[in-house]
């Protein structure tokens, strides 16, 4: 569950007319802080970012999915309509948390985040 402060930041960004990616940035930042403080770990920088984006989507930020999932609108529509009705399985949630706790903390070091940012920028240039 995202912190109240994070949701408020995202809402403020939305009111100011910022793009969804900027709104989602608050959730990604929160996730990076969680890993740094030791709440859980992450296998890679991408994983930490993905967890943050996932939380943003659940909170209602309209972040587009990347790749084939974005192309198939029918599938995306199905996943959002069916997943909201049921409460997430406690067993699965516990398993996910335990798995994340076993992961390392280096994925969100300043060096790793810088490397990830540079790679993403390089990819954007060619596209």
**Tens of pLDDT, residues 16-74:** 999 999 999 999 999 999 999 999 999 999 999 999 999 999 999 999 887 665 666 66
Kindly write down the DSSP assignment for every residue of 48-111, as one continuous string. Answer: HHHHHHHHHHHTT--PPPPTHHHH-HHHHHHHHHHHTTSPPPHHHHHHHHHHHHHS-SGGGSHH
Query: How big is the CA angle at 92 (ends 44 and 42), to the nearest 5 degrees?
Result: 10
CB 55 within 8 A of CB 27: yes
**Tens of pLDDT, residues 69-106:** 566 666 666 655 555 677 889 999 999 999 999 999 99
Give the range of the structural domain holding residue 84, as residue numbers without chain letter: 4-126
pTM, whole model, 2 decimals?
Answer: 0.78
- The structural domain count of the chain equals 1
């Amino acid at each position: 569950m995202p912190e109240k402060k994070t949701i408020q930041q995202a809402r403020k960004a939305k009111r100011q007319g910022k793009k969804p990616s900027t709104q989602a940035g608050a959730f990604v930042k929160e996730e990076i802080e969680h890993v740094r403080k030791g709440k859980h770990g992450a296998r890679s920088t991408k994983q930490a970012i993905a967890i943050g984006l996932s939380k943003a989507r659940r909170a209602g930020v309209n972040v587009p999915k990347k790749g084939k999932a974005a192309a198939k609108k029918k599938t995306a529509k199905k996943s959002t309509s069916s997943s909201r009705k049921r409460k997430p399985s406690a067993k699965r949630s516990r398993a996910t948390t335990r798995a994340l706790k076993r992961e390392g903390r280096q994925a969100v070091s300043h060096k790793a985040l810088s490397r990830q940012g540079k790679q993403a920028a390089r990819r954007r240039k060619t596209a």
